[in-house]
């Protein structure tokens, strides 16, 4: 059964981007630290990443993440070339030739539904910035939240969760510590 999984790396103090972000440093000053775990050679971490990538059939992200990324035509999953559904108010005038992108102007629920169909029974990863993730939580379309907590304190920046209009009950499913990150999987209680 396809699950919609909101994946995010955060600092211990809850920031997904450090302050001082620019076009050259979209994650802010020192913010790239949040993703060092992804290529860490720790066997436990490698197993976590491989299992995560193997479970995904499609990706949903927001327009800001798309604009700030350097993914090229293959998208964030590289050679896997998984379909990427970009939530946006308006499709860009151009995108990479032979790219994996579909621009969805009808909101996050429409993007999630399209990604679910394209995922071929695998999971949908909702990633990038917190805007789309928070919208998906409010719309009650998230099944799991995977938080990769990185041992760093930013003190300021962009938080993973903005104010939500209601409480969201979570149940921890698993937790793996790899040294560079502690990966916690929460099931959203519906």
Domains of the chain: 4-188 (3.40.430.10)
How confident is the model at residue 128, as a pLDDT?
A: 83
Residue entry with tokens 């000053």: 29
Question: For residue 165, is pLDDT > 90?
Answer: no
In this prediction the pTM is 0.93
- Report the alpha-carbon distance of residue 131 to residue 110 in Å, rounded: 15
Question: Coil, helix or strand for 6?
Answer: strand
User: What burial class does residue 165 get, using C-beta atoms within 10 Å of its C-beta: 0-12 exposed, 13-18 middle, 19+ buried?
Assistant: exposed
Task: Report yes or no: 126 and 5 within 8 Å, Cβ to Cβ.
Answer: yes
Beta strand 157-159 with 101-104: parallel, antiparallel or unpaired?
Answer: unpaired
Q: What is the pLDDT of residues 141-155, one digit of tens each?
A: 999 999 999 999 999
Average pLDDT over residues 99-106: 97
Question: Coil, helix or strand for 9?
Answer: strand
Average pLDDT over residues 150-176: 93
């Amino acid at each position: 059964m396809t699950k919609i999984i909101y994946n995010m790396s955060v600092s211990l103090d809850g920031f997904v981007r450090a302050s001082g972000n620019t076009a050259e440093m979209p994650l802010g000053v020192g913010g790239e630290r949040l993703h060092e775990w992804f290529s860490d050679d720790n066997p436990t971490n490698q197993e976590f990443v491989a299992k995560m990538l193997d479970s995904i059939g499609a990706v949903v992200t927001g327009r800001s993440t798309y604009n700030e990324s350097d993914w090229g035509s293959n998208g964030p999953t590289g050679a896997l070339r998984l379909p990427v559904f970009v939530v946006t108010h308006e499709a860009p005038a151009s995108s990479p030739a032979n790219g994996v992108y579909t621009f969805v102007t009808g909101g996050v629920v429409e993007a999630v539904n399209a990604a679910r169909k394209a995922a071929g029974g695998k999971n949908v990863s909702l990633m990038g910035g917190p805007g789309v993730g928070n919208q998906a939580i409010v719309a009650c379309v998230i099944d799991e939240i995977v938080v990769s907590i990185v041992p760093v304190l930013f003190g300021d920046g962009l938080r993973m969760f903005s104010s939500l209009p209601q409480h969201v009950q979570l149940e921890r499913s698993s937790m793996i510590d790899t040294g560079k990150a502690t990966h916690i999987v929460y099931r959203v209680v519906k």
